[in-house]
C-alpha cells in the first residue's frame, strides 16, 4: 500500500509542475495548426492532380 501512496504523491507533485498555456496561447497555436493543415492539404491535392494528369498523359 505504501507504493500506491508514494506513486500518488509523486503524481500530485508532478501535476503541480505543469505549466498550462493561456487561452491566447492556445488560440494562437490552434490557428497555426489549422492553417498549416489547410496549406499542407492543398499542397498534397495539387501535387496529386499533377501526378494524375502526368500519368493520364503517359498511359493515355
- Note the pLDDT of residue 58: 96
Q: Which tens digits make up the pLDDT trace of 5-23?
A: 899 999 999 999 999 999 9
Domain count, the chain: 1
Q: Which tens digits make up the pLDDT trace of 24-41?
A: 999 999 999 999 999 999
Range of the domain at 13: 1-59
Q: How far apart are CA 22 and CA 57, in angstroms?
A: 53
Measured CA distances, 27 to 35, 48, 57 (Å): 12, 31, 45
Contacts of residue 21, defined as CB under 8 A and 6 or more positions apart, other chains included, come to 29
Amino acid at each position: 500500500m505504501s507504493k500506491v501512496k508514494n506513486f500518488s504523491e509523486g503524481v500530485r507533485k508532478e501535476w503541480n509542475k505543469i505549466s498550462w498555456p493561456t487561452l491566447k496561447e492556445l488560440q494562437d497555436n490552434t490557428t497555426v495548426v489549422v492553417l498549416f493543415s489547410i496549406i499542407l492539404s492543398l499542397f498534397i491535392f495539387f501535387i496529386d492532380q499533377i501526378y494524375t494528369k502526368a500519368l493520364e498523359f503517359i498511359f493515355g
